[in-house]
Amino acid sequence: MKLLRYEDPKTYIHTYGLEDNPFFKDKNLRYVFTVKENATMQDLKDKEHDIKHLNLTYDRVVM
């Protein structure tokens, strides 16, 4: 499964999630990028930890 990043062109918020998440279903593919191939839920949790630890205000994670 892929770990994806959606870059919202209006708010500039980066949203990370696994490709099977319904969040990515209706998004414009022009703004969806693959962060990692063969990702697991642990990769997503690690990303969430990094975002909180680094206090990144424009990054989000969807589970």
Q: Tens digits of per-residue pLDDT, 9-55?
A: 999 999 999 999 999 999 999 999 999 999 999 999 999 999 999 99
Residues 6+ apart with CB under 8 A from 63: 17, 21, 44
How many domains does the chain fold into? 1
Does the residue 61 lie in any domain? no
Q: What is the pLDDT of residue 56?
A: 95
Does the residue 4 lie in any domain? no
Rounded CA separation 60/7 (Å): 10
Rounded CA separation 52/26 (Å): 27
Does the residue 62 lie in any domain? no
Does the residue 14 lie in any domain? yes
- Structural domain harbouring 39: 9-54
